[in-house]
Chain A
Amino acid sequence: GQQLNQSPQSMFIQEGEDVSMNCTSSSIFNTWLWYKQDPGEGPVLLIALYKAGELTSNGRLTAQFGITRKDSFLNISASIPSDVGIYFCAGHMSSNYKLTFGKGTLLTVNP
């Protein structure tokens, strides 16, 4: 089946720094989604991208749908302690109902 390669697996940063993470795939997706999961909670949808090249922001978060439709990027600007958590990318192909998830990026922010 399809696989998403998400990197980095983990990041340790100082409060105020910017963060970048990405997902790549060998398959083309029609939709890219980014989720955040706090410890012990379910993932929360942050951003959804529907068109190749699309750049979408949600507060300090910005995500892009890669031109090749095989990758996506998430940037967090001016990180704060509550940004701590696991960030997942997910891709959707219109041929079925399923999402393909990356393994996640664990973000730690040092105050």
Chain B
Amino acid sequence: DVKVTQSSRYLVKRTGEKVFLECVQDMDHENMFWYRQDPGLGLRLIYFSYDVKMKEKGDIPEGYSVSREKKERFSLILESASTNQTSMYLCASAPRGYEQYFGPGTRLTVT
């Protein structure tokens, strides 16, 4: 079975803090994705990576950056957290662009 793990299930941070969310997959997938999920807005793609050190912006990249130094690990960085970044963050990996496999999610609250 594909296993995608995320570093935290719940996280509370203060406005202005730098926040790191980590995602690890164990299936040697090339592609990894970061989404945020908000009520009424569905799943929105923040960034994705199709290879080590390669990244592309998704639909809502503003306020976020990513890092992929190793194939199995994809990090999402909030450079200066703001309250409007309170959300559920979901990581996914895929052997190709489709059939994405999701992690359990991190519920981030920024106060």
Contacts and interface: CB of A to CB of B under 8 A. Distances in A.
A96 B43 contact: no
Contact of A42 (B45, B97, B104): B104
A34 to B, nearest CB: 12
Given A97-B31, A97-B50, A98-B45, A43 B102 contact: yes
A92 B95 CA distance: 14
Which bracket fits the contact residues of B? 20 to 34
A45 B104 contact: no
A30 B88 CA distance: 28
Given A1-B59, A92-B97, A98-B97, A42 B105 contact: yes
Interface of A: 1, 31, 33, 35, 40-45, 48, 88, 90, 92, 96-99, 101-104
